[in-house]
Amino acid sequence: MAHIYYNPNPSGKRVGDCVIRGIALVTDQTWETTYIDICMVGYNMKDMPSSNHVWASFLYSMGFKRDLIPDTCPMCYTVEDFCRDHPNGTYLLGTGTHVVAVKDGNYYDAWDSGNEIPIYYWERRES
């Protein structure tokens, strides 16, 4: 379990696009393709691509399933804890203000977000 620096943003920006960065990793797409795909979903829904229900709709269409983090320790269960408990698989964690990609027990982000508290997660399901 480790933080792996990941920032596919072509301009190197690391603020405001965590949804795009995270989804790019968990869907094996480029930042540009992910951005356009989610913008198209937003266009069709007549809402902004950063809206939770827009990118959620995109993830559902890609075969992801959403689930809540168990409420056993709501303020102490971190991204690092989630990675330790999920050594295999592909996930996207939502903290309420940030999105973090997790793959096979490692978390990928433009900064070390291991101490963030996830609220829910999306799991990639193989077809």
Kindly report the number of other CB atoms within 10 A of residue 99's CB atom. Answer: 24
Structure tokens at 11: 């301009």
The pTM assigned to this predicted structure is 0.93
| pLDDT tens column, 40-86 | 999 999 999 989 999 999 999 999 999 999 888 878 999 999 999 99
127 pLDDT more than 60: no
Rounded to whole angstroms, what are the CA distances from 47 to 4, 51, 55, 57, 61? 32, 7, 10, 12, 17
To the nearest whole number, what is the mean pLDDT of the chain?
94
| pLDDT tens column, 87-125 | 999 999 999 999 999 999 999 999 999 999 999 999 998
126 pLDDT more than 80: no
- The SS3 assignment for 23 reads helix
Q: Residue ranges of the domains in the chain?
A: 9-124
84-98: buried (b, 16+ CB within 10 Å) or exposed (e) per residue? eebeeebbbbbbeeb
